[in-house]
Structure 1
């Protein structure tokens, strides 16, 4: 479903082999979060979504884990940014800004809303009602930063 959806908007994206259940469990354990159904569904089809220059529209599972752990644990950021523990980053704008879901204290993502974190002013701004709306909006340039 996700591959067809992306291809219905643009043929300029390619896909990788699906994420394994072990990889999904590792993300959830390491980041202490239950992944939203829509992100799990995309990972069941592909390990990220990439354009023709190999830039990710949706990060791979390993990049999600690596980058989220980096932002949550980098000491220097603790003095200049609000905590990142309540965000699950899954994509970037290519300019330093990152797209994310909001995580509640109990490690769940109850809303499919997508936000952008601005690296210059540390703001977190709503950009889309779901991953589907984010993907479509980013590809068609209806969403920008």
Structure 2
């Protein structure tokens, strides 16, 4: 389902091998929280999605864990940015801006974090909408 949705937006999109359910469970344990249902379904189908110019529209599970643990650590960006705890980052635009689900309160919407201004802007209503917009869009499609 997720591969088909991505391919509708960009026919030459690249996929990785799927994540095993046990590996996903271990990653969620490391994170200390569950991944949103849509992201879980996607990762069980493909361990990330690569768009044009090798942009990681959806990161691999390893990168999702690594990046979020870094951003959630209290000493990573002391006083520089608003807290990242309510967000689960899962992809980027290749230019530094990152995309995230909101975990608290849980909702299907995707937000973009602008790394230069620390703003968090609504980008898509759910993961399939995000895939379509990010793979078919040009530049800063969310603004």
TM-score normalised by length of structure 2 = 0.89
Equivalent position of 1:12 in the other structure? 12
* Residue 92 (structure 2) pairs with residue 58 (structure 1): no
C-alpha separation between the residues in 2 aligned to 1:131 and 1:42? 9
Q: Which ranges in structure 2 are unaligned for 5 or more consecutive residues? A: none
Is 1:96 aligned to residue 96 of structure 2? yes
Structure 1 residues 34, 76: closer, same or farther in 2, change over 3 A? closer
Contact 2:122 2:142 survives alignment (8 Å): no
Aligned-residue offset at 1:74:
6.4
How far apart, in 2, do the equivalents of 1:141 and 1:117 lie?
Answer: 17
Q: In structure 2, which of residues 101, 120, 125 is the aligned counterpart of residue 129 of structure 1?
A: 125
Which deviates further from its counterpart, 74-83 or 128-137?
74-83
Asked if 1:70 corresponds to 2:66, the answer is no
Q: Which has the higher contact order (CA 8 A, sep 6+)?
A: 2
Q: Tell whether 2:123 aligns with 1:140.
A: no
For residues 9 and 93 of structure 1, the distance between their equivalents in structure 2, rounded to whole angstroms, comes to 16
Q: Considering only aligned residues, what root-mean-square deviation do their CA atoms show, in Å?
A: 1.8
Check the 8 A contact 1:33/1:103 in 2, yes or no: no
Deviation for aligned residue 1:111: 1.2
In structure 1, the gaps of 5 or more residues are: none
Q: Which residue of 1 aligns with 2:114?
A: 118
Q: How many pairs are equivalent?
A: 141
CA distance in 2, matches of 1:54, 1:94: 8
Cα distance in 2, alignment partners of residues 130 and 2 from structure 1: 12
> Could you report, residue by residue, the CA deviation over 1:59-94 in whole angstroms, capped at 9, with x for unpaired residues?
000000011111122625122111111110000111
